[in-house]
Amino acid sequence: MRNAGVFHIDCEMVVPFFDVDSMHIVWHGHYVKYLEVARCALLDRLEHNYTAMRDSGYGWPVIDLQLRYIRGATFGQRLNVRASLVEWENRLKIHYLISDADTGERMTRASTVQVAVHIDSGEMQLASPQVLLDAVAKVLP
């Protein structure tokens, strides 16, 4: 069973025509864009988005991305993309669930892992910077 995370955010989107192939199915590479939309919303909720990360002196590159396609999304379909914060102390791990917004049917599962990299030195950090830990602590019950 997947870790549900300490908190999550849901984003709804409608599959645009320019994301589908000739069969009107979302091209597999576009799912990464949907994850990014949800991840940005989650980071905004933490009040530690990419701008705040940069301003604190750290970049957070994605070092691992996993996707499991269950059912292809189609043109015009309403999707819910849930991003759940799973780990944050040594790395930033987020689980995602893309589902049909109308039926709740599961479409895609995914996860990303990001690590802090000091912008000036390029050195990967072995623990998350205190600024991220403080941001997460603010939203935890």
Q: How far apart are CA 64 and CA 42, in angstroms?
A: 18
Cβ burial, residue 79 (10 Å; 0-12/13-18/19+): buried
The pLDDT value given to residue 2:
67
Task: Write out the residue range of the structural domain in which residue 82 sits.
Answer: 7-136
The pLDDT value given to residue 116:
97
Q: Is residue 72 part of a domain?
A: yes
The pLDDT value given to residue 73:
97
The one-letter amino acid code at 61 reads: P
Q: Is residue 1 part of a domain?
A: no
Residues of the chain short of pLDDT 70, as ranges, are 1-2
The pLDDT value given to residue 6:
84
Q: Is residue 45 part of a domain?
A: yes
Q: Is residue 121 part of a domain?
A: yes
CB environment 100-120: b (16+ within 10 A), e (fewer): bbeeeeebbbbbbbbbbbeee
Q: What is the CATH number of the domain that holds 60?
A: 3.10.129.10
If one counts the domains in the chain, the total is 1
Q: Is residue 103 part of a domain?
A: yes
The tokens describing 74, both together, are 């189609």
Q: Is residue 65 part of a domain?
A: yes
